[in-house]
């Protein structure tokens, strides 16, 4: 009897811990204007969420970062009738953007120091956001910016649309600290139209962020997600977190 109780306890313990709970955020309505200049001074009223090796998900396609100085970040989200706004502040020991050029609209952002914002606008938590028929692209997809300002939205219904306010726009700034490491700030404005205008009606959307870290050129070294099912967090919307828009 004792052995059976112990076994049942362990089965319960393992199943309770098998999957990380999907995180959720309440997104506040914008109070003042967000100016897309890469300065986050205009985000003082919005709470930031810290993401690091302890609470985030390193995608198994690349390795884990050594420590928070190698790669960690915080992000914030707010909205208005026009768009969803995202701010990200990344800590990175070495800045590398050898595979992209500033001004590109279809850059290989996934190979450099970059932020990738993932949107599931119809909030259906599809297991394959990259389905061949591109069904999910009508409601979002992957919107990437590198530390040098290169962009890509090729995995969305709106390729090469960066910089057009009808779709999405943003800005990046970088600052080197005394110890040689970097703080990179990203600001995004993602029009509701790139999400098929669904979230405002529904009051919610699926969302995650993946920050890519390249420290030595070529492919990325690490990819750290706020929420995701590894490997290939970028593909499976069911691993992403939930954003609830404050009415």
Distance from C-alpha of 215 to C-alpha of 63, rounded to nearest angstrom: 12
Q: Does 93 bind Ca ion (CB under 5 A)?
A: yes
Cβ-based nearer residue to Ca ion, 111 or 209: 111
Distance from C-alpha of 196 to C-alpha of 2, rounded to nearest angstrom: 56
Q: Does 89 bind Ca ion (CB under 5 A)?
A: no
Residues 194-213 that bind Ca ion (CB under 5 A): 213
Cβ-based nearer residue to Ca ion, 26 or 39: 39
Q: Which of 27, 111, 172, 195 binds Ca ion (CB under 5 A)?
A: 111
Which range, of 18-26, 94-102, 118-126, 232-240, touches Ca ion by CB under 5 A? 94-102
Q: Does 120 bind Ca ion (CB under 5 A)?
A: no
Distance from C-alpha of 122 to C-alpha of 116, rounded to nearest angstrom: 19
Distance from C-alpha of 173 to C-alpha of 159, rounded to nearest angstrom: 23
Distance from C-alpha of 24 to C-alpha of 241, rounded to nearest angstrom: 5
Find the shortest distance in angstroms from Cβ 53 to Ca ion. Answer: 12
Cβ-based nearer residue to Ca ion, 71 or 119: 71
Q: Which of 35, 102, 165, 177 binds Ca ion (CB under 5 A)?
A: 35
Q: Does 70 bind Ca ion (CB under 5 A)?
A: yes
Phi, psi of 198, deg, nearest 5: -75, -45
Which range, of 10-18, 99-107, 134-142, 234-242, touches Ca ion by CB under 5 A? 99-107
Q: What is the DSSP string of 134-200?
A: -TGGGGEEEEEEETTS-EE-TTBSSTT-BTBTTTEEEEEEEEE-TTS-EEEEEEEEEEGGGGTTHHH
Q: Does 42 bind Ca ion (CB under 5 A)?
A: yes
Interacting residue ranges for Ca ion, rule: CB under 5 A? 35, 37, 39, 42, 70-71, 92-94, 98-99, 111-113, 213-215
């Amino acid at each position: 009897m004792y052995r059976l109780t112990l076994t049942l306890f362990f089965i319960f313990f393992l199943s309770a811990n098998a999957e990380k709970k999907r995180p959720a955020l309440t997104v506040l309505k914008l109070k003042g204007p967000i100016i897309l200049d890469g300065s986050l001074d205009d985000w003082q009223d919005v709470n930031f969420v810290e993401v690091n090796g302890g609470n985030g998900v390193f995608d198994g396609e690349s390795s884990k970062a050594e420590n928070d100085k190698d790669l960690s970040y915080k992000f914030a989200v707010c909205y208005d009738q026009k768009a969803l706004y995202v701010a990200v502040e990344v800590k990175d020991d070495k800045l590398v953007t050898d595979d992209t050029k500033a001004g590109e609209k279809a850059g290989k952002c996934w190979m450099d120091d970059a932020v990738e914002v993932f949107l599931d606008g119809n909030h259906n938590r599809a297991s394959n956001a990259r389905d061949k028929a591109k069904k999910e692209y009508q409601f979002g997809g992957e919107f990437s910016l590198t530390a040098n300002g290169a962009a890509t939205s090729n995995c969305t219904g709106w390729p090469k649309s960066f910089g057009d306010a009808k779709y999405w726009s943003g800005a990046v700034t970088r600052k080197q600290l005394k110890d040689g490491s970097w703080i990179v700030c990203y600001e995004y404005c993602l029009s509701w139209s790139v999400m098929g205008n669904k979230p405002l009606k529904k009051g919610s959307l699926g969302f995650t962020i993946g920050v890519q870290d390249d420290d030595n050129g070529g492919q990325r070294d690490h990819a750290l997600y706020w929420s995701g099912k590894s490997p290939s967090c970028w593909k499976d919307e069911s691993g992403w977190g939930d954003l609830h828009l404050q009415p």
